Amino acid sequence: MRLLERTNTDTIHLTKFPIKDIPPYAILSHTWSDKEEEEFSFKDLTDGGADSKHGFNKIRFCADQASRDGLRFFWVDTCCIDKSSSAELQEAINSMFKWYCDAAKCYVYLVYVSTHKPNVNVNPTWKQAFLQCRWFKRGWTLQELIASKTVEFFSKEGEYLGDRQTLGNDIHNVTGIPLGALQGYTLSGFGNEERMSWAKNRKKTHKEDKAYSLFGIFDVQIPILYGEGEDKAFRRLREEINKYDPCLADLRSTDPWHDKRRIEHAKGGLLKDSYSWVLETPEFQQWRSSNDNRLLWIKGDPGKGKTMLLCGIIDELQKSLVSGLTHQQCHRRPPRLNITSYHPATSTHFTQILTSILQDADLETKPMYLIIDALDECITDLLQLLELITQTSSAPFRVKWIVSSRKWTQIEEKLAIVTQNNLSLELNAKSVANAVDVYIYYKISQLSIKKKYNDKTKMAIQDYFLSNANGTFLWVALVCQALADPGLRNWNALRTLQTFPAGLDSLYVRMIQEIKGYEHSGLCRDILAVTATVRRPISLEEITSIVEMPDGLCDEPEALEEIIGLCGSFLTLQDKTIYFVRQSAKDFLLGRASNNSRHFQEAFNWGFHLDKEEVNYTIYSRSLEVVSTVLRRDIYG
């Protein structure tokens, strides 16, 4: 690697080091001038005599700043790469991310940001220019922002503006890059598409650079072929990423970071004051501090806030990990799995891979946290999963588990073998009720702002919630959702609210009652029945084959989507596939939820009886009818 060295006589000259002997160095991040000839190049450096060039200012800045930080060596891309050598350029592009990773300091020199204040009372004058800076819009600067351990920003006068941590929120707002990525979380924790999106609207001089500038972010190395075009460059990049994907995909069929953010967003955001109580419980504290207690089971009824508690716990654990991580640059780059041959995974493969990761020597000093929400919603192989959890909850594994579920005896019996450290939400009813009250105050104040309630209405609504929530978050969330309906007038809000009975099951009965009043309630009922019975989420195309569509609706996909929208308290549509909004709604329809037989009976009386055998028979016979339109005996003659 070539580096610039500032000598004792204040001259700057080029040096070259073998990879294993590279001394500590600073690295510059900047944007190239539109007139490339203004930059101080490799040729300028080797030929000499070009120090008067405009571009030399940034070299001088970097030398001075490095020297202030006690660094003799530094690297600047304008003059440390001999671009006339295609081999050297190739090596540089494939190594650049690592060079930024390994640098002791990364200085971002912003020639368009000035700290010269026309008026000392304007504070801070540079911020606006900083936020609009072209440095945030260029392609290569993305990896420079993410790769380096420390990124420090400087004005054109060389004045320090802040670093990636202190300016984190501004950088996040301008670039859309999650704070986690700016704080040093492992990049493999972010999904492929998400990482691609960070580069989306950035400008590059060469089209191919759109793909090439992502090599480091995906930890891949492939030959650069300028002239191949953007599409081909991306195709090759994706092929390389996908090489690892069969294995990674089996370990991570969805991206858990993305899932967590999606869940929090869909549920209206995570409220710290409604989960922080759990961090103070003896059960959590014991799990956290003791090596003998490697498994914590959080159990509770539907809608008691288990998912959100886990989201909060993850945030909390992450906070304590990040301060450790930022000092370890290796964590910027995801550790490579050593997989020489890989075959598509079965659950046994999955278990094998996971077990070997958990045994990884590297974990001897660092614990790994694995967190599973809603074990009771695990449809296949629940027993194997419980087996894996119990087997790995003791030495020599350095893993710590937190799992959540309802109070199922099947789960209880298995987990009891390794832990008695159970956190029951019912036994902590007081803390949960307080947390729900906090949630109510928050939701009602939000709703009041949105709907412009007067004080009297607001207080009356708040009181109704406080008296009827019964410590169930989900009840509050669902009733708030109903009150937020734009069609509901303020003068009618309280009266409507009083038609929502206390208790989750009563609420579901009311929702069914509402659906019953619709013109196409029969179709809604059939769709709900089939969706609750089938093993996997069903697509729109499939459901039209199974339920009887009224005349006029058969060829109207939008109409069907609208009908599903009418069942919105129970169902949701994603990518033309119908899902239950939440498990408790499905359980209710199947008559499975606890203590709801009376309510289920009421639903039954409303004509929403769900006889599973009957629904199965309908699915079977309708499916046969559909295939019979195409298939016949001895079809190939």
Ligand X SMILES: Nc1ncnc2c1ncn2[C@@H]1O[C@H](COP(=O)(O)OP(=O)(O)OP(=O)(O)O)[C@@H](O)[C@H]1O
| Neighbouring C-beta atoms of residue 570, cutoff 10 Å | 25
* DSSP state at residue 344: -
Largest CA distance in the chain: 94
Q: DSSP for 370-425?
A: EEE--GGG--S-HHHHHHHHHHTTSTT--EEEEEEE---HHHHHHHTTT---EEET
Measured torsion, CA atoms of residues 202, 203, 206, 212, in degrees rounded to the nearest 10: -20
Q: For residue 277, which amino acid is it?
A: W
What is the DSSP pairing of strand 577-580 with strand 422-424? unpaired
Q: DSSP for 67-93?
A: HHTT--EEE-HHHHS-TT-HHHHHHHH
Indicate which single residue of 141, 143, 274, 329 sits in contact with ligand X (rule: CB under 6 A): 274
* Whether 533 contacts 615, CB under 8 Å: yes
Does residue 582 touch ligand X according to CB under 6 A? yes
Residue 113 zone, left/alpha/beta (φ > 0; ψ -120 to 50; rest): beta
Minimum separation from the CB atom of position 505 to ligand X (A): 12
Kindly tell me which of 520 and 599 has the beta carbon lying closer to ligand X. 599
Indicate which single residue of 75, 109, 190, 439 sits in contact with ligand X (rule: CB under 6 A): 439
| Cβ neighbourhood burial of 71 (10 Å; 0-12, 13-18, 19+) | buried
Does residue 270 touch ligand X according to CB under 6 A? yes
Does residue 419 touch ligand X according to CB under 6 A? no
Contact window for ligand X (CB under 6 A) among 24-32, 245-253, 302-310, 571-579: 302-310
Minimum separation from the CB atom of position 302 to ligand X (A): 4
Does residue 474 touch ligand X according to CB under 6 A? yes
Does residue 569 touch ligand X according to CB under 6 A? no
- CA dist 51 and 28 (Å) reads 18
**Per-residue interface string for the shown chain with ligand X, residues 161-200, x marking contact by CB under 6 A:** ----------------------------------------
Kindly tell me which of 28 and 403 has the beta carbon lying closer to ligand X. 403
Contact window for ligand X (CB under 6 A) among 6-14, 94-102, 104-112, 270-278: 270-278
Does residue 477 touch ligand X according to CB under 6 A? yes
Kindly tell me which of 181 and 440 has the beta carbon lying closer to ligand X. 440
Contact window for ligand X (CB under 6 A) among 92-100, 232-240, 304-312, 625-633: 304-312
Minimum separation from the CB atom of position 610 to ligand X (A): 19
Indicate which single residue of 62, 145, 248, 308 sits in contact with ligand X (rule: CB under 6 A): 308
**Size of site (CB under 6 A) for ligand X:** 22
Does residue 302 touch ligand X according to CB under 6 A? yes
Tokens of 594: 């606890």
Minimum separation from the CB atom of position 479 to ligand X (A): 11
Minimum separation from the CB atom of position 268 to ligand X (A): 5
Sign of the CA dihedral with 531 first, then 537, 543, and 545 last:
negative
Contact window for ligand X (CB under 6 A) among 178-186, 299-307, 326-334, 601-609: 299-307
Indicate which single residue of 56, 130, 275, 600 sits in contact with ligand X (rule: CB under 6 A): 275
Alpha carbon distances (Å) from 569 to 407, 440, 581, 600: 25, 20, 7, 16
**H or E stretch covering 598:** helix 597-605
Interaction site with ligand X (CB under 6 A): 267-268, 270-271, 274-275, 300, 302-308, 374, 439, 473-474, 477, 582-584
